[in-house]
């Protein structure tokens, strides 16, 4: 092949991939860069920013607040919101894994037609509106709602129990929102497992638990890792669930960011918070790619 | 997994009850919502009888209809643009490896990795700072970015599963590149394009966070309107409009699923 043919091939590729890359570049990459820039600007008095006035205020805001006389005071409010977000994301991750892995394994061991139906059933909630899904939990969790009503009807409780507007409600909502994200990738990797390996484990005298721990789980590791990423990342940035199911005392990072563009009118601080969240996600992704490059650990 | 799954040893104790619980957990709220949307009672969670009254109320509400119309216009434009960009990108990415492929893939799926609230903040700042007026157009642009990876992934999967010999055979039969694409590749790729297009349509139709940030006043979509309703309180109208949204999602996803499965 001559050099011109290679160049022609490259040009053809570039002209096909180019438009999509350009679109994402202009409307996503540049905005993210701009957001990082804005996080170092001074806030405008009535919202917006002051151009060419650089400050690290937005980042020091995170830990300190200015007293009336201008001295810095430690303020742990925002730190609490970050640690609450991390905590809720971790708990959600753990619970979706506990519930999702057995579900995926059960699905993978069914006959093909039932299997396809089950995948479809897991996919449906995944594609339904997030607001609608969280709203359904308001109906269930609120005072005199379905759960409370049933409990008092059965005589388990005497007075209304308030489940809504608590961190518990957020946890349930997040788990509900992201369970399919855990089940589907684990299922995808379990489906590829060669059952003869599991059979060999049984032949060699392994019981169910041993076969699970020593053979199946190691082989499903890529799916477990992918599912964990897919649950952790959106959980950290969740906005709708804490907004609808949590109270004002159980804000997460997403709500704090939104407030900066709404009532608080502190755009640089909002941009800085979003940038910190993005950094957390990218670090998680880097750890994930480095780990998954090593491949699954040997089962022995 | 193979036929071996019928081996009784492959039944792991405890898996079935957990799976049963998971499915109940996934579907109970949906069933409760649908049931309550047919409740005649003014109070949303107290059952007093079957009625379709609240559907009538919702469909007679001009604000809701206007918001729904906005949602559909945005979703059609974003899904069409996103799917077109994704299709030609997938065609360019397929067939052999090249330098920068990993980087290009990373950019194409970036909208899936970055938390939506971060994208929302960045897009809002971008439009405001370049002085672009917030409205339906900004929502369409933001949604298109999001639709690209959702359309790209199924189309790419379909392309990778295609036999390259088919296009080569067309070339052997003196089809030029365009003819081979038009008569061989495109018909085979079509289910993937349609399924990716439908998924990006539903993603745009359902999107709330991004829209909430970049819509500005006057460009209210249905999810943004529903959010406002939920904020005010739990009412029978919210039940009915939520059940309608649910029905549309289930319909479109089922359609995409059926199209993706047939003609393999």
Task: Say how far apart CA A122 and CA B26 lie, in whole Å.
Answer: 8
Distance from CA of B161 to the nearest CA of A (A): 17
- Is it the case that residue B65 has pLDDT exceeding 90? yes
The reply to whether residue B242 touches residue A132, judged by beta carbons under 8 angstroms, is yes
* Phi then psi dihedrals of residue B102, to 5 deg: -60, -45
- Provide the terminal-to-terminal Cα distance of chain A, rounded to the nearest Å: 49
**Domain residue ranges of chain A, discontinuous segments joined by +:** 77-293
**Chain B neighbors of A274, CB-CB under 8 A:** 117-118, 121-122
Distance from CA of A59 to the nearest CA of B (A): 16
Band (pLDDT 50/70/90 cuts) for residue B19 is very high
User: What confidence score (pLDDT) does residue A298 get?
Assistant: 46
Query: Is the separation of the CB atoms in A119 and B232 below 8 Å?
Result: no
Task: Say how far apart CA B218 and CA B139 lie, in whole Å.
Answer: 12
**Domain residue ranges of chain B, discontinuous segments joined by +:** 61-261
User: What confidence score (pLDDT) does residue A3 get?
Assistant: 66
Q: What is the pLDDT of residues A148-182, one digit of tens each?
A: 777 777 877 777 777 888 889 999 999 999 999 99
Band (pLDDT 50/70/90 cuts) for residue B260 is confident
Q: Which residues lie below 8 Å from residue B205, measured CB to CB, with a gap of 6+?
A: B71, B72, B75, B222, B248, B249, B252
User: What confidence score (pLDDT) does residue A300 get?
Assistant: 38
Query: Of B108, B238, B249, which has the smallest distance from its Cβ to A24's Cβ?
Result: B108
Shortest CA distance to B193 belongs to which of B35, B82, B109, B93? B82
The reply to whether residue B9 touches residue A199, judged by beta carbons under 8 angstroms, is yes
Distance from CA of B13 to the nearest CA of A (A): 8
Greater pLDDT, B219 or A28: A28
* Mean pLDDT for the stretch of residues B58-66: 92
Task: Say how far apart CA B222 and CA B212 lie, in whole Å.
Answer: 11
Q: Does the domain made of B61-261 have the CATH classification 1.10.460.10? A: no
Q: What is the pLDDT of residues A50-81, one digit of tens each?
A: 777 788 888 887 888 777 777 777 888 888 99
User: What confidence score (pLDDT) does residue B4 get?
Assistant: 60
Query: Of B124, B223, B242, which has the smallest distance from its Cβ to A261's Cβ?
Result: B124
For residue A49, what is the enclosing H or E element?
strand A49-54
**Chain A neighbors of B10, CB-CB under 8 A:** 109, 195, 198
User: What confidence score (pLDDT) does residue A2 get?
Assistant: 56
SS3 at position A167:
helix
- Is it the case that residue B39 has pLDDT exceeding 60? yes
Q: What is the ipTM of this complex?
A: 0.88
**Chain B neighbors of A185, CB-CB under 8 A:** none
CA distances from B107 to A52, A108, B38, B82 (A): 30, 32, 45, 14
Percent of chain A with pLDDT over 70: 95
Greater pLDDT, B146 or A144: B146
**Chain A neighbors of B4, CB-CB under 8 A:** 195-196, 198-199
Greater pLDDT, B27 or B8: B27
Q: Which residues lie below 8 Å from residue A97, measured CB to CB, with a gap of 6+?
A: A182, A224, A227, A228, A231
User: What confidence score (pLDDT) does residue A299 get?
Assistant: 41
- A189, closest residue in chain B (CA to CA): B1
Greater pLDDT, A68 or B209: B209
- Is it the case that residue B3 has pLDDT exceeding 60? no
Summary mean pLDDT of chain B: 88
User: What confidence score (pLDDT) does residue A174 get?
Assistant: 96
Query: Of A17, A118, A145, which has the smallest distance from its Cβ to B104's Cβ?
Result: A17
User: What confidence score (pLDDT) does residue B182 get?
Assistant: 85
Task: Say how far apart CA A218 and CA A6 lie, in whole Å.
Answer: 43
- Is it the case that residue A274 has pLDDT exceeding 50? yes
Say which DSSP state A263 is in. Answer: T
* Mean pLDDT for the stretch of residues B69-87: 96
Task: Say how far apart CA B182 and CA B180 lie, in whole Å.
Answer: 6
Confirm or reject contact between B98 and chain A (CB < 8 A).
Answer: yes
* Mean pLDDT for the stretch of residues A283-294: 80
Q: Which residues lie below 8 Å from residue B95, measured CB to CB, with a gap of 6+?
A: B164
SS3 at position A221:
helix
For residue A245, the tally of other CB atoms under 10 A from its CB is 27
Chain A contacts in chain B segment 21-80 (CB below 8 A): 21-23, 25-30, 32-33, 36, 44-45
* Mean pLDDT for the stretch of residues B33-60: 86
Residue B32: CA atoms inside 13 Å, Cβ hemisphere, count? 22
Lowest mean pLDDT among A39-53, A115-129, A263-277: A39-53
The reply to whether residue B25 touches residue A12, judged by beta carbons under 8 angstroms, is no
Chain A contacts in chain B segment 123-152 (CB below 8 A): 123-126, 128-129, 141-142, 144-145, 148, 152
Tokens of A128: 């339904």
SS3 at position A45:
strand
Greater pLDDT, B259 or B24: B24
Band (pLDDT 50/70/90 cuts) for residue A294 is low
Interface test with B, best of A6, A14, A17 (most B CBs within 10 A): A17
Distance from CA of A66 to the nearest CA of B (A): 25
The reply to whether residue B242 touches residue A124, judged by beta carbons under 8 angstroms, is no
Confirm or reject contact between B245 and chain A (CB < 8 A).
Answer: yes
Confirm or reject contact between B181 and chain A (CB < 8 A).
Answer: no
For residue A43, what is the enclosing H or E element?
strand A41-43
Q: What is the pLDDT of residues A226-264, one digit of tens each?
A: 899 889 989 999 999 999 999 777 889 999 999 998 877
Query: Is the separation of the CB atoms in A140 and A134 below 8 Å?
Result: no
Shortest CA distance to B68 belongs to which of B189, B247, B256, B253? B247
Query: Is the separation of the CB atoms in B92 and B152 below 8 Å?
Result: no
Full 3-state SS string of chain B: CCHHHHCHHHCCCCHHHHHHHHHHHHHHHHHHHHHHHCECCCCCCCCCCECCHHHHHHHCCHHHHHHHHHHHHHHHHHHHHHHHHHHHHHHHHCCCCCCCHHHHHHHHHHHHHCCHHHHHHHHHHHHHHCCCCCCHHHHHHHHHHHHHHHHHHHHHHHHHCCCHHHHHHHHHCCCCHHHHHHHHHHHHHHHHHHHHHHHHHHHHHHCCHHHHHHCCCCCCCHHHHHHHHHHHCCCHHHHHHHHHHHHHHHHHHHHHHHHHHCCC
Q: What is the pLDDT of residues B165-208, one digit of tens each?
A: 887 788 788 888 788 888 888 888 888 898 889 889 999 999 99
The reply to whether residue B110 touches residue A146, judged by beta carbons under 8 angstroms, is no
Quickly name the fold that domain A77-293 has.
MetI-like fold (1.10.3720)
Greater pLDDT, A187 or A71: A187
Distance from CA of A136 to the nearest CA of B (A): 5
**Chain A neighbors of B234, CB-CB under 8 A:** 138-139, 142
Apex B17 CA angle, B13 and B19, nearest 5: 105
Percent of chain B with pLDDT over 90: 47
């Amino acid at each position: 092949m001559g050099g011109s043919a290679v160049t022609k091939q490259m040009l053809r590729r570039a002209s096909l991939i180019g438009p999509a890359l350009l679109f994402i570049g202009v409307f996503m990459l540049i905005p993210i860069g701009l957001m990082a820039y804005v996080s170092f600007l001074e806030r405008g008095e009535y919202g917006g920013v002051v151009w060419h006035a650089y400050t690290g205020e937005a980042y020091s805001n995170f830990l300190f607040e200015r007293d009336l006389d201008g001295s810095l005071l430690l303020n742990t409010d925002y730190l609490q919101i970050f640690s609450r977000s991390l905590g809720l994301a971790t708990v959600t991750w753990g619970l979706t894994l506990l519930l999702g892995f057995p579900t995926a394994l059960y699905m993978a061991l069914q006959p093909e037609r039932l299997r396809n139906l089950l995948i479809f059933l897991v996919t449906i909630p995944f594609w339904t509106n997030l607001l609608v899904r969280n709203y359904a939990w308001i109906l269930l969790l609120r005072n005199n709602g379905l759960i409370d009503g049933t409990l008092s009807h059965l005589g388990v409780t005497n007075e209304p129990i308030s489940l809504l507007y608590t961190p518990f409600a957020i946890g349930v909502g997040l788990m509900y929102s992201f369970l399919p994200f855990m089940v589907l990738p684990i299922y995808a990797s379990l489906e590829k497992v060669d059952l003869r390996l599991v059979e060999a484990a049984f032949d060699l005298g392994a019981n169910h638990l041993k076969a699970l721990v020593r053979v199946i789980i190691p082989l499903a590791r890529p799916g477990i890792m992918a599912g964990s990423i897919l649950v952790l990342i959106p959980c950290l940035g969740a906005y709708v669930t804490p907004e609808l199911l949590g109270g004002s005392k159980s804000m997460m990072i997403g709500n704090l960011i939104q407030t900066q563009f709404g009532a608080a009118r502190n755009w640089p601080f909002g941009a800085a918070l979003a940038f910190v969240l993005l950094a957390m996600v990218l670090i998680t992704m880097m750890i994930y790619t480095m780990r998954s490059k090593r491949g699954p650990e040997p089962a022995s | 997994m193979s036929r071996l799954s019928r081996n009784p040893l492959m039944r792991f104790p405890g898996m079935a009850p957990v799976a049963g619980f998971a499915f109940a957990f996934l579907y109970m709220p949906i069933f409760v919502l649908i049931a309550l949307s047919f409740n005649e009672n003014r109070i949303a969670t107290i059952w007093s009888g079957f009625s379709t009254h609240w559907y009538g109320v919702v469909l007679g509400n001009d604000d809701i209809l206007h918001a729904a119309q906005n949602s559909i216009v945005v979703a059609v434009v974003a899904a069409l643009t996103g799917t077109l960009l994704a299709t030609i990108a997938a065609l360019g990415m397929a067939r052999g490896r090249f330098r920068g492929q990993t980087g290009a893939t990373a950019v194409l799926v970036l909208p899936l990795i970055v938390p939506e609230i971060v994208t929302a903040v960045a897009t809002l700042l971008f439009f405001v700072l370049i002085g672009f007026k917030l409205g339906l157009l900004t929502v369409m642009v933001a949604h298109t970015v999001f639709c690209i990876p959702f359309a790209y992934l199924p189309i790419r999967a379909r392309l990778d599963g295609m036999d390259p010999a088919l296009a080569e055979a067309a070339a052997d039969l003196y089809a030029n590149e365009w003819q081979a694409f038009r008569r061989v590749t495109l018909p085979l790729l079509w289910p993937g394009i349609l399924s990716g297009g439908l998924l990006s349509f539903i993603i745009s139709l359902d999107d709330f966070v991004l829209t909430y940030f970049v819509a500005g006043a006057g460009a209210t979509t249905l999810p943004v309107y529903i959010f406002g309703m939920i904020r005010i309180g739990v009412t029978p109208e919210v039940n009915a409009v939520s059940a309608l949204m649910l029905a549309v999602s289930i319909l479109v996803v089922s359609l995409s699923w059926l199209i993706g499965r047939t003609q393999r």
